[in-house]
Amino acid sequence: MPFELPDRWVWDCWIADDGDRFHLFYLNAPRALGDPYLRHRNAVVGHAISQDLRDWEDQGVVLEPGTAGEFDGTATWTGCVVRTVTGWRMFYTGSLFLDPSEHTNIESIGTADSRDLQSWSKTERPPLRADPRWYETLPDRTWPEEAWRDPWVFFEGGVWHMLITARARRVAGTPDDRDLGVVGHATSDDLVSWTINDPLSAPGAGFAHLEVLQAVEFDGRHFVLFSCDRAHLAGARRELQQGGVWVAPRDPATGWCDIEEARQIHDESLYAARVVRERDGRQALIGFVNTGADGSFGGRISDPIPLTIDDEGWPSVRSMET
């Protein structure tokens, strides 16, 4: 059954598999806040474990914001976990809000280490910030946040890659401010020192942002998975009635993502979805239930939603149940 907590909203999640159990890391905030929008300023990272991606045993909070003024001084947001030589490393988003009544915030990427996936210690490495040579930053004053979040780290071609929710720096000839969402990119040889590179997609593809990116492979073909709701669609895509979960082709040789070709595979009743591989090898989506039956915020994590390959070789949702 879906993972939910009686007194806390649950939303974005990521999963680590130790070969025996699945470890769910999830954003959560108190329902007592009243307004679900306030959850973003109050997010902490929780942890749950499961044998089958369906029955979860909650382990409580494992990562909280830093002190006032630090890069994660307001909230800890979405990330990922990778295995290292000595254990596990979490890459997570630190959010620092600059005004108590506005959404103005700076997002950076930090790290925490663990030997057992249970206890986590933040590292003292400087956080990774958006490089203004290629990416929009807060002083550009075209967007209410410095978007640099949702890191997805994976090994490919002998190098570690990080995909990042980012926005392109606006220059002459680029689209309007709503259409600057791109796939941010950084690389590393050791998971410690990172080089920020230019984006792996072009602005003008119809998205103000591409959230919770993930590089995925289906039947030998490579794609990038991301989420974008209707409120953040841009250009011609603004005519669509729904946003949601999207996939677009990705070239593993260059990393380039053809976001212009993106197709929706689930409406925004499910959001921030991840592709997970079950023990039998099947692939499925897990995300958070965005809207309940009455239209209110869902605030829980879905059961796995089976994926299949359509006649054109694209991933497709086989069941819409969440």
pLDDT 10s digits, 166-218: 999 987 677 788 999 999 999 999 999 999 999 999 999 999 999 999 999 99
Tell me the one-letter amino acid at 78.
T
pLDDT value, residue 293: 73
Give how far the C-alpha of residue 243 lies from the chain's centroid of Cα atoms, to the nearest Å. 16
**For the purposes of burial, counting CB atoms within 10 Å of the CB of 86, is it exposed (0-12), middle (13-18) or buried (19 or more)?**
exposed
Over residues 46-55, the pLDDT tens digits come to: 999 999 999 9
Is the pLDDT higher at 303 or at 141?
303
Mean pLDDT calculated for residue range 246-252: 98
% of the chain exceeding 90 in pLDDT: 90
pLDDT value, residue 170: 84
For 8-317, the fitting CATH number among 3.40.50.280, 2.115.10.20, 3.90.1150.10, 3.30.70.1560 is: 2.115.10.20
pTM of structure: 0.96
318: confidence class by pLDDT, cuts 50, 70, 90: low
C-alpha distances (whole Å) from 285 to each of 244, 246, 266, 272, 288 are 13, 12, 10, 10, 10
Residue 117: which of 30, 233, 41, 17 has the closest Cα? 17
pLDDT value, residue 320: 42
Over residues 124-171, the pLDDT tens digits come to: 999 999 999 999 999 998 899 999 999 999 999 999 999 999 999 987
Between 205-209, 307-311, 318-322, the lowest mean confidence (pLDDT) is in 318-322
Over residues 9-22, the pLDDT tens digits come to: 999 999 999 999 99
Residue 215: which of 154, 160, 276 has the closest Cα? 154
